[in-house]
Amino acid sequence: MKEVIVADPTGFCFGVKRAIDGITQALAEEDDVWSIGMPIHNAQEVARLSAMGLKVAEGVEDIPNGARVLIRAHGESRAVLRELQDRGARVVDMTCPFVRRAQDHADRLSAEGFDVVLLGDARHPEIRAIMGCVDGPLEVVADVQDAEKLSRRRRMALISQTTQQEECLIAVAAALVKKAEELYVCNTVCRATVERQDAVRGLAGKVDGVLVVGGRDSANTARLRDIAVANGMDVLWIDNIDEMNGGWLEGKNQIGIVAGASTPQWLITEVCSKIARM
Ligand code: SF4
């Protein structure tokens, strides 16, 4: 191995850093701080925060009355926020402002009579939270094929999960042009996502392989892997340092390292050190 190129930017984005700072500050003020679901899609970082006292509840029904509760960067639905209020929870809202923008667009356009179409993964907490901000008709599409199955409507508003590829948003918008008399498209893909995706594309032709570091359920990490594969790169996706595979490194002179927006810098540094030792 001659060279390791760490993509720039890579790893924690603004919204994740902000949420972790919020948790750390809350834990410095009191022992019991709760999160509904994993606060970020990285098991090692969640383990580190749990060791500091963070408690992860599976659902809002597990939150004790009056508890201090952190809303993660993905945001929460109105129903969950109402339930927290009923339980007297003291909420620290760390919804990323870029996710909030997508929620606000969805809420406003639905109220104006648009049928909302969300591009993203229907199981992802960010999409579930946006769905929970809309009272009117709403559909979730994962790709162009899903969009083409939608029936024709008078007014449609297309909003994207913040971690999608802009190319996919453009393709879905093109498919929906034929489905509505009036189509309103909001580009809610966040800049941190675009910059990290461009950094992966920038490695094409410069490296013999790309190591993707990030949680398996991290949507933005999955996109980085997809982009590397689509650009013909040999990819190894690892969730943690134990998955580093010496065999994959064999015969490679240059490798690139990219990490999802929920991957901490300390893990990227550990991966680089392990490669150096190997
Ligand atoms: S990926 Fe973008 S939208 Fe999501 S938390 Fe980070 S900055 Fe916010």
How do residues 109-131 score in pLDDT, each as one tens digit? 999 999 999 999 999 999 999 99
Q: Do 210 and 266 sit in the same domain of this protein?
A: yes
Q: Is 261 in the pocket of ligand 1 (CB under 6 A)?
A: yes
Q: For the chain, how many structural domains are there in total?
A: 3
Q: Which two tokens stand for residue 251?
A: 């015969």
How many angstroms does the Cα of residue 2 sit away from the middle of ligand 1? 33
Residue whose CA is at the smallest distance from ligand 1 atom 7: 15
At residue 246, the pLDDT reads 83
220 lines ligand 1 (CB under 6 A): yes
- In this structure, are 126 and 143 located in the same domain? yes
98 lines ligand 1 (CB under 6 A): yes
Ligand 1 atom with the shortest distance to the CA of 99: 3
Q: Among 52, 70, 95, which residue terminates a domain?
A: 95
The predicted model scores a pTM of 0.93
Residue-range definition of the domain harbouring residue 224: 3-11+192-277
Task: Give the ranges where 152-230 is alpha helix by DSSP (H).
Answer: 166-177, 191-201, 219-230
Pair 185, 225: CB distance under 8 Å: no
Q: Does residue 206 share a domain with residue 173?
A: no
- Is the shortest distance between the CB of 160 and ligand 1 below 6 Å? no
Reply yes or no: is the peptide bond before residue 97 cis, omega within 30 of 0: no
Residues 34, 41, 24, 15, CA torsion sign: negative
72 Cα–ligand 1 center, Å: 11
Going through the chain in order, the beta strands assigned E by DSSP cover 3-6, 33-36, 54-57, 68-71, 90-93, 115-119, 138-141, 153-160, 180-186, 209-213, 235-238, 254-259
Interval between CA 246 and ligand 1 midpoint (Å): 32
Model pLDDT, residue 244: 87
* Of 95, 130, 152, the domain-final residue: 95
Report the CATH number at residue 70.
3.40.50.11270
- Residues with active-site annotation: 126
Q: Is the distance from CB of 232 to CB of 225 less than 8 angstroms?
A: no
Statement to judge: residues 176 and 208 lie in one domain: no
Say how many Å lie between the first and final Cα of the chain, rounded: 9
Is residue 253 located within the same domain as residue 185? no
Taking 70 as the pLDDT cut, the residues of the chain under it are 1
Residues 182, 214, single domain; the answer is no
Per the CB < 8 A criterion, the answer to whether 246 and 256 are in contact is no
Pair 75, 107 in one domain: no
Burial per residue of 179-199, b for 16 or more beta-carbon CB atoms within 10 angstroms, e otherwise: bbeebbbbebbbebbeebbeb
Choose among 240, 216, 231, 228: nearest CA to 44: 240
Specify whether 197 is located in the same domain as 185. no
Domain limit, last residue, from 55, 80, 95: 95
Same domain, 217 and 167: no
122 & 78 share domain: no
Q: Is the CB of 106 under 6 A from ligand 1?
A: no
The pLDDT score that the predictor gives to residue 1 is: 63
161 CA distance to ligand 1 middle (Å): 10
CATH of the domain at 257: 3.40.1010.20
Same domain for 56 and 134, yes or no, is no
